[in-house]
Structure 1
Amino acid sequence: MLVATWNVNSIRSRIDHVKEWLITNKIDILCLQETKTEDKFFPIEIFSDLGYEVSISGQKSYNGVAIISRFPINDIKIGFNEVTNDYQDLSILSEQKRIISADINDIRIINVYVPNGSSINSDKFIYKKKWLKCLQVYLREINKNNTPICLLGDFNIAPEDRDIHTPSRYEESIMASSKERELLKDALGGELEDVFRIFEPGEKNWSWWDYRHSAWERDKGWRIDHIYLTEDILSCANSCWIDKEQRSREKPSDHAPVVVDINWPPSDIENEFFF
């Protein structure tokens, strides 16, 4: 089973790229971030025609998350408040469309678009810290049932210095600060593992290249798009990779997809994929 995450930076602008990529790579579950469109304008029919179910949570021009699956999507939960009421500022944190989860093929798929935070001394950074603390509460509630979890999305955090092209330039900067890394680690709680680093421990593995400063051409990237798995799924993982080719296309997203290949359910023989 192939599960992927991709910040597409506007689904309506990138729909042809996404459609072609799904068909070519035979992706089973795709989580999108920054769809940047209201639900009524999301191109559901294009995915339905390919045999996918779609669950969306969008808003005009900003944010937005979606789950696209060839398996049935069950028990959809949109926002933090459908899982937990045990956090202050919950209503404010749920206004922006940044989290959606569902039960798919006996896995709790949790798709997140973590706030960028703008700069360390900004109000947006305060919002990001609150959002990550609320994510910790959310994951704790989900994990009470010992459900297999796949948490994935654009985290807007490079977990380690090896996840940044020139870490010395960004020490204690946004997306690389010790506070953000600490909050992410706390949210994961020691029960969710970064599957990419199991298979790819080396440096220069980027998932995002800024549109500015010729970042793509100079390969000045960051790894801020992640897939985290609980041990029951991690033990079934075969590989995990970043599809950098998508960033090289004409009018691309500034992010590349990240994909994990899992033998799931463990006892099943891999089913042939049909469109």
Structure 2
Amino acid sequence: MRIATFNVNGVNGRLPVLLRWLAESSPDIVCLQELKAPDERFPAAAIEAAGYEAIWHGQKSWNGVAILSRVGTPIETRRGLPGGDDDAQSRYIEAAVNGVLVAGLYLPNGNPRPGPKFDYKLAWFERLIAHAASLIESGLPVALAGDFNVMPTPRDVYKPERWTEDALFAPEVRAAFARLLEQGWADALRTLHPQETIYTFWDYFRNAYARNAGLRIDHLLLSPALAGRLADAGVDAHVRGWEKASDHAPTWIALTDG
């Protein structure tokens, strides 16, 4: 079974890219981020025609997350993280799909730092850590997938010295990610490719993709009950080079049968 995460950077504006990638790669389950569309504008019919059932949590102009599946109906278990009853930002969705609990997330960017956006990022991260602990404690096979807006280590960023003041590389944010992993989550890409230069995002500016001046900010974290099934992991980096592509590339894992 192949599970992927893809920040589409506008699900309607980049729908041809998404559909082309789905047809080419045929992932079984996909977590999408940055839909940038309210619920009623989600392209459900086009997704269904491509062979996928979907659940989504949209928001006008910003954010938005979805889970697509071609291996069974996603049974939604949570929409939004606990502790955020007044949180209007659509950043988390969770569903049981084909024997796996799939959690799709879009962690806040947090820039500029310092400031209220950075404070919100740290607070949201704490809510994620608390909920992730309960997922680990459940003993279920869980995939925590999405755009974390975190480069965990200097290996995950082109010229890290240029990012020392950025919210995506801030010590507090990297420490929060490390605390998340300490719960028992396996970083799938690094589990299989511990030393490789791997990026999942390339800015639209300064010819970043052609120079491979990227960041690794899209992650798939696996609970102990799922990590033992990890067979392969990678990034479909060529998708970033397509016309009108997202600035992210799809990131995926392959699992053996449970």
Compute the TM-score of the two structures, normalised by the length of structure 1.
0.90
Partner of 1:98: 91
Does the residue aligned with 1:11 lie in a helix, a strand or coil?
A: coil
Distance of 2:112 and 2:196 partners within structure 1: 25
For 2:248, what is the secondary structure of its paired residue? coil
1:176-215 equivalences under 5 Å are: 176-215=169-208
**Which residue of structure 1 lines up, in the alignment, with residue 80 of structure 2?**
79
The answer (yes or no) to whether the contact 1:172–1:178 under 8 Å persists in 2 is no
Deviations 1:67-122 (A, max 9, x none): 000122114311013xxxxx4xx234x31000000111121100000000012212
The amino acid of 1:122's aligned partner reads G
Matching of residue 52 in structure 1 with residue 45 in structure 2: no
Q: Which runs of 5+ in 2 are unaligned?
A: none
Partner of 1:127: 120
1:155-170 correspondence to structure 2 within 5 Å: 155-170=148-163
Quote the offset at 1:202 in angstroms.
2.7
1:131-152 residue CA offsets vs partner (Å, 9 max, x unmatched): 0001011112333321111001
State the TM-score, normalized to the length of structure 2. 0.95
More divergent stretch after superposition (12-21 vs 187-196): 187-196
Match of 1:111 in 2: 104
Where do 4+ consecutive residues of structure 1 move more than 4 Å?
Answer: none
- In the alignment, the residues of structure 1 paired with residue 42 and residue 212 of structure 2 have an alpha-carbon distance, to the nearest angstrom, of 32
1:140 aligns with: 133
Aligned to 1:237: 230
State the shift of 1:251 in Å. Answer: 1.0
- Bigger mean CA deviation after superposition, 233-242 or 183-192: 183-192
Query: Which residue number in structure 2 is paired with residue 258 of structure 1?
Result: 251
CA distance in 1, matches of 2:49, 2:63: 25
CA RMSD of aligned residues (A): 1.4
Cα deviation digits, residues 127-184 of structure 1 (max 9, x gap): 0000000101111233332111100100000000000000122224321111001112
Say if 1:136 and 1:188, in contact at 8 Å, map to a contact too.
Answer: no
User: What percent identity do the matched residue pairs reach?
Assistant: 34
Give 3-state SS (helix, strand or coil) of 1:13's partner.
Answer: coil
Unaligned 5+ runs, structure 1: 82-86, 266-275
